[in-house]
């Protein structure tokens, strides 16, 4: 009996592994097909986007860096798959965190700049719940469709964990290579911005610098305009962690359509997010911040900066018990829906 049970467990593990690999292969296939669709149809834009690993500021090559708490600079990179154009939205932690509202703000800025010719947008990202796959980003997409009337449909598709290589990962590697090649001194965030601007082979990367005034609090929409639910329109359980494909359509202003895979044969399920305010009311959001953020005193490191950059460091607002800006604003747990 014990041998049979062990064999059954092994088979179960193998089945899960096979299913996981099949899902990863399907996502890669669909991404390849979407890239080709965008190449053949000039009314479609396809993007991959991802947040680069935090960039330490100042950037130190010495062992001193191990004992110092540096300021973090953030870079959310968009790679347009047809043209290869790269846009980097950059800011540092005294101007904003790196959570869902900040990611949503960058996506909004990227897609709202599309020409009237573009009717559909397809986006690929990893499935990080704290940044990409969550209610804040969904609220942003619904807002975007209200304000950009030419957009008829937005598809947001998620890579499988462990198989989330995206075109922008190559872009991030080029930034790292550029840093090593130039050997330039990184003292303040602006130095990172300039280094990224100088990156790229055929085309230089475009950099959009953000400050605290740019970030929008899309989560506030769930206090009035929208309402989170734990069930879809048919009464079935809804969990963000199970989603693989989200679709937003201009004709359904407060609905999200979703699947647990990228299989075309699977039907979309629907959830209406309409809140206490009527369907026709514009989705207006408030800013995330009224001023720049307070960071830890330990991040003020004048002794490592040349006098030319002392003013930047001195103007940072600090305290002994500052909240970390590295924490994501949305958890992957179901408590988000309560």
247 domain residue, yes or no? yes
Q: What is the 3-state secondary structure (H, E, C) of the chain?
A: CHHHHHHHHHHHHHHHHHHHHHHHHHHHHHHHHHHHHHHHCCCEEEEEEEECCCEEECCCCCHHHHHCCCEEEEEEEEEECCCCCEEEEEEECCCCCCCHHHHHHHHHHHHHCCCCCCCEEEEEECCCCCCCCCHHHHHHHHHHHHHCCCCCEEEEEECCCCCCCCHHHHHHHHHHHHHHHHCCCCCCHHHHHHHHHCCCCCCCCEEEECCHHHCEEHHHHHHCCECCCCECCCCCECCHHHCCEEEEECCCCCEEEEECCCCCCCCCEEEECECCCCCCCCCCCEECCCCCCCEEHHHCCHHHCCHHHHHHHHCCCEECCCCCCCCCCCCCCHHHHC
Q: Whole-angstrom Cα distance, residue 173 to residue 200?
A: 11
123 domain residue, yes or no? yes
- Look at the chain and report how many structural domains it folds into: 1
Per-residue pLDDT at 265? 93
Is the pLDDT at 122 greater than 80? The verdict is: yes
Contacts for 276 with CB less than 8 Å, ≥ 6 apart = 224, 227
Q: Whole-angstrom Cα distance, residue 132 to residue 129?
A: 6
Kindly state the average pLDDT of the residues 11-22.
Answer: 70
- Strand 216-217 to 286-287 pairing: antiparallel
Average per-residue pLDDT in the chain?
Answer: 87
285 domain residue, yes or no? yes
Is the pLDDT at 185 greater than 70? The verdict is: yes
35-49, 238-252, 308-322: the lowest-pLDDT one = 308-322
CB atoms within 10 A of CB 127: 19
64-68, 306-310, 317-321: the lowest-pLDDT one = 64-68
Token representation of residue 262? 């990228």
14 domain residue, yes or no? no
198 domain residue, yes or no? yes
Indicate the pLDDT class of residue 202, thresholds 50, 70 and 90.
confident
Tens-digit pLDDT profile for residues 235-285? 999 999 999 999 999 999 899 999 999 999 999 999 999 886 665 677 888
Indicate the pLDDT class of residue 336, thresholds 50, 70 and 90.
very low
10 domain residue, yes or no? no
Most confidently predicted of 208-217, 284-293, 329-338? 208-217
338 domain residue, yes or no? no
Name the pTM for this structure: 0.89
63 domain residue, yes or no? yes
Residue 282 belongs to domain spanning:
49-332
């Amino acid at each position: 009996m014990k041998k049979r049970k062990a064999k059954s467990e092994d088979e179960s593990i193998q089945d899960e592994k096979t299913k996981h690999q099949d899902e990863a292969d399907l996502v890669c296939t669909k991404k390849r097909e979407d890239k080709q669709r965008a190449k053949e149809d000039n009314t479609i834009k396809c993007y991959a986007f991802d947040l680069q690993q935090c960039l330490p500021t100042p950037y130190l090559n010495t062992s001193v860096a191990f004992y110092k708490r540096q300021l973090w600079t953030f870079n959310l990179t968009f790679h347009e798959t047809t043209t290869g154009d790269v846009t980097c939205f950059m800011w540092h932690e005294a101007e904003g965190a790196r959570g869902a509202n900040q990611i949503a703000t960058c996506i909004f800025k990227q897609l709202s700049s599309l020409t009237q010719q573009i009717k559909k947008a397809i986006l690929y990202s990893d499935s990080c719940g704290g940044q990409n796959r969550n209610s804040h980003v969904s609220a942003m997409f619904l807002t975007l469709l209200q304000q950009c009337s030419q957009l008829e449909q937005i598809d947001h598709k998620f890579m499988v964990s462990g198989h989330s290589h995206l075109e922008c990962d190559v872009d991030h590697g080029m930034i790292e290579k550029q840093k090593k090649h130039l050997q330039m001194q990184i003292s303040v965030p602006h130095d990172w911005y300039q280094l990224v601007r100088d990156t790229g082979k055929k085309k230089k990367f475009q950099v959009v610098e953000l400050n605290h005034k740019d970030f929008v609090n899309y989560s506030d929409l769930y206090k009035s305009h929208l309402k989170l639910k734990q069930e879809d329109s048919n009464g079935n359980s809804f969990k963000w962690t199970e989603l693989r494909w989200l679709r937003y359509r201009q004709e359904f202003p407060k609905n999200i359509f979703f699947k647990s895979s990228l299989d075309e044969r699977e039907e979309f399920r629907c959830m209406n997010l309409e809140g206490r305010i009527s369907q026709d009311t514009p989705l207006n959001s408030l800013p995330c911040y009224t001023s720049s953020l307070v960071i830890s005193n330990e991040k003020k490191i004048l002794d490592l900066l040349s006098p030319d950059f002392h003013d930047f460091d001195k103007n940072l607002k600090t305290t002994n018990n500052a909240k970390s800006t590295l924490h994501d604003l949305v958890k992957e747990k179901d408590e988000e829906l309560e």
